Chain A
């Protein structure tokens, strides 16, 4: 069985990040978009935790904790906005968000 090293974590993180990016680019639904951003942030968390362990330094994990906290507050704000928007327009499709342009 192969030893799982730092690089594997980092590659996993990168792949997840790429998935998140793809999601952000492709999704047309606001809720799905928020999920994609969560994937982005959490992919970074994995890497932080791994690197922190690799260096034996706590600051990486601290960073990860803060990211989690921030992600949580983002969700709070984001969902709040989403709910309001749904109430106003009856849809959470990105197509409804096009009143300003040019």
Chain B
């Protein structure tokens, strides 16, 4: 005989679902509108998405407020977990998405943007990422991950070129493998502890003093492999360059920022307690992964001939750099991770947006990819402002002060220093120097070389439109004057991270 289930609506705390529900509703609304009247202009969908994201943003700000008053909130059968990490993670996701979505308002017509499904999928994906970061339940993490990933595969494929399909298939297959890893790892943890909530897992493990350390390590290995895939840590990175190359520049930029921050938050939840339990193996393995990812990705980026592919490798390297925060594991490092990512998001989105405005539909003679370095040769002659802005983003990514990413790098290295990782700090610093080479390469092409292609054909800025320019302008301003935002951002982030216990 079943007892009646008595759950008060209050204890469900359904409001914790609001941030995810908003984009889901938005996606449904878009689909409904399309059902009612098809063939509407893409600008409608863009603005609708933007509106829903704004609402999402508002609700998150609200939660940030609540968090600062009440601390961590649980909800929906204690599946939802709204702590500082969740709030910052979601904020970064939503803000980056808001910067991304207007990029579809190009002056050239790309057919994926005319499908309302594109926007619906996009919003679903955001909801998926939001679920990922706002829970410590492995099931929900998995569901969120897959929701987002499946949507993302489709978005890539929608670009509708051979390379996009190839990219989508590669991403999809490897994603499936990573999903297998995740579920297997989760299974072992479940077997060991009988729970699928991260905080309970850690509590149980700590209670029996890691007696089954061998199995714990196996589980962690699988989870690490799975998130290594999402974070594109070497050797799980192989999809990254191909997928970036296959997808549109805008989406590639988006992919380099948003999925990774979601994965970082989960990685932080999953691995931090192990790092703090002095599991030497994990420290070693993370150390190796971080150094390998930073260095090898940089080295491969050196030899690329396509800017977008170069930026793909560069974003792998940046991910490796930031992964160091999880290794270091101090509050300072974890705050640095978010700060870095916010600053990186602006510069990187800016750089990819610049590629996006330079995307032409027909390649000129001698051009074998969308954005070869040669295309930008002598840009300073024809479009000095564009060249200057692109150069600025490159310098920022290289970590040249006082532009955006520098402050992130500085905080990150400082946290390595205060965390006692001296050698790591040096490796991080020297990697920035290697990285500077390939960023400089683009600057050299833009500022110091003669144009290679026949400039009669418009190949620069063909895709530029007011919204795109505004986004780029916004990113530019933020990148230049980032020093003014660092202090408040840091204060905000540190408070949230610290109060969540990380």
Contacts and interface: CB of A to CB of B under 8 A. Distances in A.
Q: Do A and B come from one complex?
A: yes
Interface of A: 10, 13, 17, 20, 24, 30, 33-34, 37, 40-41, 43-44, 47-48, 51, 55, 57, 59-60, 62-63, 66-67, 70, 73-74, 77-78, 81-82, 84-85, 88-89, 97, 99-102
A42 to B, nearest CB: 10
Contacts of B191: 10, 47, 51
A43 B181 CA distance: 11
Given A43-B184, A44-B183, A51-B187, 18 more contacts: A33-B173, A40-B177, A40-B180, A55-B194, A59-B190, A63-B142, A63-B187, A67-B142, A70-B146, A74-B150, A74-B179, A81-B153, A84-B165, A85-B165, A85-B166, A97-B170, A99-B163, A100-B163
B138 interface: yes
29 contacts: A10-B191, A17-B180, A17-B184, A24-B177, A34-B176, A37-B173, A40-B177, A40-B183, A40-B184, A41-B176, A51-B190, A55-B194, A57-B194, A59-B195, A63-B183, A63-B190, A66-B142, A66-B143, A73-B150, A74-B179, A77-B153, A81-B172, A99-B162, A100-B166, A100-B167, A100-B242, A100-B246, A101-B242, A102-B303
The winner among B163, B180, B194, B303 for most chain A CB atoms within 10 A is B180
B96 interface: no
B375 interface: no
A89 B161 CA distance: 12
A70 B246 CA distance: 25
A62 to B, nearest CB: 6
A41 B196 CA distance: 17
A82 B169 CA distance: 8
Nearest to B300: A102
Given A70-B146, A100-B242, A81 B187 contact: no
B230 interface: no
B154 A77 contact: yes
Nearest to B150: A77
A101 B170 CA distance: 12
The winner among B167, B241, B242 for most chain A CB atoms within 10 A is B242
A41 B183 contact: yes
Contacts of A24: 177
A44 B184 contact: yes
A69 B311 CA distance: 35
A100 B162 CA distance: 11
A100 B186 CA distance: 33
B142 A70 contact: yes
Nearest to A57: B194
B233 interface: no
B146 A48 contact: no
B323 interface: no
Interface string B301-328: 0011000010000000000000000000
B56 interface: no
Contacts of A55: 194
A59 B183 contact: no
Nearest to A20: B180
B237 to A, nearest CB: 14
B168 interface: yes
Contact of A44 (B150, B166, B187, B242): B187
A37 B176 contact: yes
B245 interface: yes
Contacts of A34: 173, 176
Nearest to B166: A97
A102 B368 CA distance: 14
Interface string B120-162: 0000000000000000001100110010001001100100001
B168 to A, nearest CB: 6
A33 B111 CA distance: 30
A41 B179 contact: yes
B418 to A, nearest CB: 39
Given A78-B172, A81-B165, A100-B245, A59 B184 contact: no
Nearest to A39: B180
B270 to A, nearest CB: 16
B165 A88 contact: yes
Contact of A74 (B146, B166, B195): B146
Nearest to A62: B139
Contacts of A33: 173
Nearest to B304: A102
A86 to B, nearest CB: 10
A73 B146 contact: yes
A100 B30 CA distance: 35
A78 to B, nearest CB: 6
B252 to A, nearest CB: 13
A34 B176 CA distance: 8
